[in-house]
Structure formats: C-alpha cells, structure tokens
Structure 1
Amino acid sequence: MTMSFACATLCLRCRGLLFPKSSAHLYYVQGQHSMRVGKSARISSRLLSGGNHTAAQTRLSWKQQPSYYYDFTAKYLMTEAKESKHTDVLSRTDLSECKPALLPTLGALPLTQNQISFDLDADDECSALEEISDEEAVGISIPPSIPPASNSLQDYVDKSETLTKLVQLGVCLWKLERRPNVGSMLLRLDFSKDVAPWLLFLKEIGVEDSRLGYIISHNPFILSENLDNLQARVNYLKSKKFSSETVASMVSRAPYLLNFSVKRLDNRLGFYQQQLKLSASNTRNIVVRLPKLLCGSLESVKENLKVCEIELGFKANEIQHIVIAVPKVLTANKKKLTQIFDFLHNTMKVPNYLITKFPQVLNTKLLRLRERHQFLEYLGKAQYDPNLPSYISLDRLVSLPDEVFCTELASATLEDFYLFQKTL
C-alpha cells in the first residue's frame, strides 16, 4: 500500500508539472497556448523516464499513443484513491477538476501550421472580418489622404478635383502658389459650386476656352467676385459703346479688368478723356488697344505725361498724337523712355516733330536702334531728314527685319551687318 501511495503521489506531481490547472483549463476553454503545453509535455516525458536509456523510445511512445497513456493514468489514480486511506491528498473532486486537463490530447502532439495560425489569431482582441457597430466605426481614426501642409500645390493635385480640372484648363499652379493665401483658397473651393459658374460666365461674355487658364493664372481672385457684380461691369462697358467682342478681348488680355467696380472704371475712362483731351472714340480706341490702362496705377501714367511734357519737350497736341498712335508710352518705363529719346534727339539729331510723326520709334529697343543707326552711319547713309535725298524713315528703320533692312536701307548683305555687330 505504501508503494502504491508513493507511485500515486509521483504521478500527481508529474501531472502537476505536465498540466497546471490554470493552463489546462485555459487550453480546454479557448484553445490557446498549445505550444507551451506541448513543451511541458515533452519535459515531463523526460521526468517519467527517470533518466533511463530508453528515454527516446518513451518520448516516441508518448507522441504516438497519448490517449492511451492518459486513460491508463486516470484509471490507476482512481483505483489507488479508493484503496488509500489518505483521502485528504487525493479526492474525487480533485480528479473531476483535473479531468479536463487530460481530455485534450492535441497539446502533446507536434503542432501543424494551421494549429499555430489558429493559436496566434486567438491572441488578437478582434478579427479583421468581425463586424463592428456604427459608433465604433466612427471612432476609428483614418490617416489623412493628403498632406496637412505643403509648400507646393503639386502635392494636392491628385487629391483635389478643383486643382485637377484647373490644370486641365491650363492654369499655372506654380504661379499661384507663390502668392500669399492663394493656394489655401483654391484648396477650399468646390469646382462645381465655386469655379464652374465663373468659367461659364466668362464663356458667355465671349472669352475663348484657350484664355480661361490664362485669366485664372493671373487673377484667381475673380472666383471670389459676385457674379452679379461681374455682369454689371460688363453691362457698363457695353453702355459706353464697347462691343461684346471688344469686351471679351479686353478681359482676355487684362484679367483684372472685371475686378474693379463700375465707379472705378468710369473714373478711369474720364481721366484719360480729360487729361489728354481725347474724344470718346479715341478714348475707347486707346483702352481697347491697351486695356491695362483701366487696371494699372494712374501714378505712373501721370509721371510719364510730365516726362513727355517737361523733360522731352513735347507739346500737348504732340503728346496726344503720340498716345493715340502708341498707348504703351503711358505705361512705359521712365528710364527706357528717356534713353531712347536722348539717343534719337542728341545722337541721331532727330527733331521732336519727326519723333511725333513716327512715335513707334519710342516703343523700340534701344540696342536695336543703336546698332542700325551706327551701321548706317558707317556706310554713310544715316540720313533722317525728309527734305534731303536718301531719306530713311524712322518707322522703317526700327520695324523692318534685319535682312530687309540690309538690302533696302543699307544696301549691304546680312553677313556684313553681323560682322559689324561684332565690332561694337
């Protein structure tokens, strides 16, 4: 009996090492930690072998017949418990509580790949295929699809419908992103609500499709203007006898034109008419040819008028004639204007009345004028007085292409002119 009790105690200890109560129950209920249970089983098999040289055979028998071993151990323990007087060591309750640890036999077997995958999935809190409630779905944080901040609009083109369609229209985003707050404004716009109606308006007044991108590139703020205000400004220009085609051309070449109120447009037209003493027809003429006169600053215009009158010595009627012929003189760079006049008047000895007769010469490049005059002077043909023979018109001097200039005015070859330019 003593030997039987010792064997039973040893078996209980081995069983405790093999399958602790908590691990066995957790495995039985959830099917987890199978790898750890298998490892414990392999360690216990070495203890049961007692260090015998047949340990390898015992482990092989353990793996091949785990069910038979567990059944034999259970029957042996129950028989010894009935015969033993030490019921405080082993009771039926203990056996019933320990039975679940013996029932599963997979823990002692080598794990397959499917079983390992199942055990790993069991450790996750939830499956990717598990359905969740609407409240949980709302609470899921999704990383933003576009960068929260960038120095270039290029990063947003693929994510923004507005930017994508503006690029398709020919809008230069690299120009707009240089301007403060313009990029942020465009990203907040909805193309259907905030852009398309303005594009349709421009098309309705006669602007060509090819000019829409140019207008938005230079004046994106037109998208923030009220459509009724834009229409009122178009109606005002038409009331001043600007045709529909003329208004469309002016808007295409001066994108900021419609950003100014009716009052400002009226003041600008009145300024040019009164300052230059022009008729309504001539006022419309210079504005149509240079619509930026209605958009730019009047200070530069006033300064150029004073330069023409005081520094260059032109009379009022001469200034009027020059402006009607070349409106760009009103917005020309002051330094460039004075340099060209100085070369014409002091070097070429051209009087003011001839400059007034051919005002286009004031709009040419100084280098072009200098090279051609010096070439004619080298050939002895620099003669600009209409009362003398071999007269050369200032208009033809600056307007003809190089080849025509050489053959008709200089009576020389183009190669001669190029060789002369290298000596300058």
Structure 2
Amino acid sequence: MYVCGRCVRYVQSRLLCIKAQHVQTSLPTALLHHSLPQSCRDRWSSHWIRAFSDQRTESALSHTASRITQHSLVPVKNSELHQVSSAPPPAPAEQTSIDLDALSCPSPFEEISDEDAIQIFVPPNLPPTTFTLRDYVDKSETLTNLVHLGVNLSKLEERPNVGSMLVRLDFQKDVVPRLLFLKDLGVQDFQLGPMLTKNPFLLTESLENLQARVSYLKSKKFSPESVAVMVSKAPYLLNFSVKRLDNRLGFFQQQLGLSAHKTRDVVTRLPRLLCGSLEPVKENLRVCELEFGFRRNEIQHIVTVVPKVLTANKRKLTQIFDFVHNTMGVPHSLITKFPQVLNAKFLRIRERHLFLEYLGRAHYDPTHPNYISLERMVALPDETFCSEVALASLDDFERFQKTL
C-alpha cells in the first residue's frame, strides 16, 4: 500500500497539534472524515484506524508518525497488515470532539525538506495551454494515429484553432468513418496524410454532406476516378455545398463557352478552380482578350490545353506574353498552337532565346528552313536543348549565361 505525500504531511501536522494541546481523541476517525480526499480515506481506513486507536501516549504518537513517513514510500507487507487488522478492538473510551479547522495548518508556501519533496507524486495530465501539439501526441489517440497516417502536425499547429479541434476529436467516432469514406471514394493511402494536412476540417464535416457532394459530382457525369483525383488534388472541394459547386461549374461553362465535356476535363485537371476565388479567373480572361488580343476561340483552345492560365499570376503572364510576342516576334497563332509557353519560366525563355539569337538560330517562323518550335525550346532540358536545338555544347550555354 502506498500513501501520498499530501496525506503524510497532513497527518503529521495534526499529530503535532494534538500533541501540543494534550488532546485525546479518536484521531483516525477525525482525520479521515474531516477533510482528507475520499481516495485517501479508503487507503487509510483499512490499515491505520486501529493502529491509532491503541496509541494515545506521547511515545505512541511519535512512533506512529515515524511509521507513517516510512510507509509513504515502502509498501506494507501482507503479514504486517494481517497482524494489525487482527488486533483486538480497543476498550471504549470517552471521546472528545475537536474542531480540526480551528487548529493551525501548515502554509502552502512553507518550505519542505528534500525527503518530503520526493514523496510528492503528481499524476501526468495534459497541459492546459501549449504552443505545440507535441505535448499531446503521446496522450491523444487521435494525434498519434494522424501522425502514423502522415499528417504534418507542425503545419497544422500554426493555424488558429486547428490544434484544439484535433485534440477534441475521438479517433474511432470522428476520424475513422471519414477515412473509410475517402478510401471508398478511391483516395490512396499515401494521399490521406497530405490531404488532411491541407484540409483538416474534413474530419468535422458530416458524412451526409460529404456523400451529397460526391453524388452531385457523379450526377454531372464525373467518373469515380475523376472524383478521386479532384478530391486528392483539391481537398477543400468537399467542404463546399452542392449549390456552390453547381454555380462554379455553370460559371466556367458560360464564361469559357465550352461544352459540358470540355468543362469537365478542365475542372478535373485543375480542380482548385471550384475552390478558389473567381476574381483572378475573370481578370486573366479580360487580359487575354483585351490586352493580349486573343480571339475567343483562341482563348478556349489555350484554356483547354493549359488550364493554369486561368489562375496564373497576371504580372508573370503579361511579362511572358510581352517577351514572346514583342521581343521574339511570335504571332498569336503560334502562341495558340503552343500555349505551354505561357506556363513556362520567364528566365528560361529569355536565356534560351538570347542564346539562339547569339548563335543566329532564333527562327520561330514555320516557313523558315531552321525553324525552332516553341515547344522544343521551352520543354527540353538544358543538355538536350543545346545538343538538338542550339547545336552547341552545354559548357558554351553555361558560359553564355554568365554574361547576362
């Protein structure tokens, strides 16, 4: 049997008070039923009541106090417990009631010895406040299993209120049903961790709402494979209502003037179109038509081949088009034929064009004998570009780059 340090100090203080005032009383009964915790009462009642009832003299009180301190760290043997419990009951004596609250109690700020300090045991609890989820991982089944799935908790704890939300979730009740739903949808195991890292709020969405949104996408003739790809690429897709998804699909079909089949293809390849803001999309469409001068059918072809043009940075898009069209002299028809150039890196386009111009091979007209297509100039790696397009060595290209 183990006795907590709090009870040891409490009983010792009461013994000293009773000793000083020469009060004879039923000490165990008064201590156990006055202010000790219920758990401590149960521990004391089976072993110490009779021991205290037989010892009322000064020497007995000192002996009992020493035994209490000794038993606070050493378990009581069964034989000793049997001997104490089998002692004959004490003769009835006249008991004097005493108000223990009136006696002086040790202050909580009173210094204690090292021996008393090591007897204090504080059970490990969850910290009330913390700046990291690391303190909760070992004590929370939900966080432990999320780490095993590959969820990056260091990113989630930086977002407000996400950490407290995850700690309150029950793994079996809240997390498992939604993981099974995603698995049935076609999401692979290795995709679950990154998905929940991007959108942990999937774990708080009701299964009815999730199923309703998936059913809507399938009713619009999105294949199950397409739905799985869309959800894995854009995890926030399932957080939007059916009405919002319907409005987004209608907007892109109307603004782009595409058929239902081509609209589904564009959205499947870039599903974040259904989740992000529509303002960049509207702005890029106006820029392509009014500033770049593309016709409507040319914009439709560009968007169908490279959907990222709709969400590209306006400044970068304008910089690339201005260099390709005005500096390189490439007409709209060729840009429409190879729209991947609008999604390339501006520095790569500039360096390779200037190198070809230095070599006298910057010919982008299909009618020219040494014609170089935009696709080969942009898409090939440096070594292949030098050997097959520029007809030069990689060292020559690297030395030329240092001159820019």
TM-score normalised by L of structure 2: 0.72
Distance 2:251 2:65 in 1: 88
Q: How does 1:250-261 map to 2 (within 5 A)?
A: 250-261=230-241
Change (3 A) 1:395 1:127: closer
| Rounded Cα–Cα distance in structure 1 between residues aligned with 2:286 and 2:320 | 17
1:394 maps to amino acid: L
Q: Aligned partners of 1:119 and 1:32: how far apart in 2?
A: 11
Change (3 A) 1:29 1:226: closer
Residue ranges of structure 2 left out of the alignment (5+ in a row): 1-21, 23-51, 82-120
Q: Deviations over 1:323-377 (max 9, x none)?
A: 0010000000111100101111111111111111110000000011111111101
Number of the residue aligned with 1:206:
186
Alignment correspondent of 1:241? 221
Residue deviations 1:168-193 (CA, integer Å, cap 9, x gap): 00001111111110000000000000
Whether 1:189 and 2:169 are equivalent positions in the alignment is yes
Contact 2:186 2:225 in 1 (8 A): yes
Tell me which residue corresponds to 2:334. Answer: 354
CA RMSD, aligned part only? 2.6
Which of residues 299, 313, 319 is equivalent to 2:299?
319
Residue 67 (structure 2) aligns with: 121
| 2:112 paired residue number | none
Deviation at 1:155, TM superposition (A): 1.3
Q: Distance in 2 between matches of 1:210 and 1:119?
A: 62
Counterpart Cα distance in 1 of 2:315 and 2:358: 28
TM-score by length of 1: 0.69
Alpha-carbon distance in 2 for matches of 1:330, 1:415: 37
Distance in 2, matches of 1:243 and 1:122, equals 75
Relative to structure 1, is the Cα distance of residues 378 and 191 closer, same or farther in structure 2, using a 3 angstrom cutoff? same
Deviation at 1:29, TM superposition (A): 4.0
Please list, as runs of the form range in 1=range in 2, the aligned pairs for 1:25-424 lying within 5 A after superposition.
Answer: 29=55, 33=59, 120-122=66-68, 143-424=123-404
Q: Return the offset for 1:121.
A: 2.0
Contact 1:287 1:293 in 2 (8 A): yes
Rounded to whole Å, the distance in 1 between the matches of 2:199 and 2:349 is 36
C-alpha contact 2:55 2:61 (8 A) present in aligned 1: no
Q: What is the DSSP-based 3-state SS (H/G/I as helix, E as strand, rest coil) of the residue aligned with 2:348?
A: helix
Q: Give the direction of change, closer, same or farther, for the CA distance of 1:121–1:395 in structure 2 (3 Å limit).
A: same
User: What is the CA distance between 1:198 and its match in structure 2?
Assistant: 0.3
Q: In structure 2, the residue corresponding to 1:216 is in which secondary structure? A: helix
Matched length: 311
Specify the code of the residue in structure 1 equivalent to 2:67.
Answer: D
Query: What's the secondary structure of 1:313's corresponding residue?
Result: coil
Q: Secondary structure at the match of 1:387?
A: coil
Tell me if structure 1 keeps the 8 A contact 2:325–2:331.
yes
**Bigger relative CO (Cα 8 Å, ≥ 6 apart):** 2
Quick check: which has more Rg, 1 or 2? 1
CA distance in 2, matches of 1:123, 1:187: 40
Mark the CA change 1:128 to 1:361 in structure 2 (over 3 Å): closer, same or farther: same
Check whether the contact 1:32–1:122 (CA below 8 A) recurs between aligned residues.
no
Is the Cα contact below 8 Å between 1:32 and 1:119 reproduced in 2?
no
Q: CA deviation at 1:315?
A: 1.2
Identity, in percent, stands at 66
AA aligned opposite 2:269: R
Distance 1:120 1:344, change over 3 A: same
Letter in 1 for 2:318: T
* In structure 2, C-alpha distance between the alignment counterparts of 1:35 and 1:157, rounded to whole Å: 48
Kept after mapping to 2: 8 A contact 1:206/1:248: yes
Q: Measure the CA separation in 1 of the matches of 2:170 and 2:275.
A: 28
Secondary structure at the aligned position of 1:256 is classed as helix
How big is the shift at 1:126? Answer: 8.2
Shift of 1:143: 4.7
Q: Structure 1 or 2: larger helix share? A: 1
CA contact (8 A) 1:33 1:119 kept: no
Letter in 1 for 2:162: V
2:266 & 2:68 partners in 1: Cα distance? 84
Match of 1:80 in 2: none
After the TM superposition, which residues 10-29 of structure 1 pair with which residues of structure 2 at under 5 Å, given as runs? 29=55
User: For the residues of structure 2 that align with 1:231 and 1:176, how far apart are their CA atoms?
Assistant: 25
Distance 2:366 2:288 in 1: 24
Cα-to-partner distance string for 1:189-228 (whole Å, 9 max, x where unaligned): 0000010100000001111111111111001111111101
With over 3 angstroms needed to count, the CA separation of the structure-2 counterparts of 1:393 and 1:123, relative to structure 1, is closer
SS of aligned partner of 2:235: coil
CA distance in structure 2 between the aligned counterparts of 1:172 and 1:384, rounded to whole angstroms: 47
Distance change (3 Å), C-alpha of 1:195 and 1:33: same
> Which amino acid letter does the alignment assign opposite residue 322 of structure 2?
D
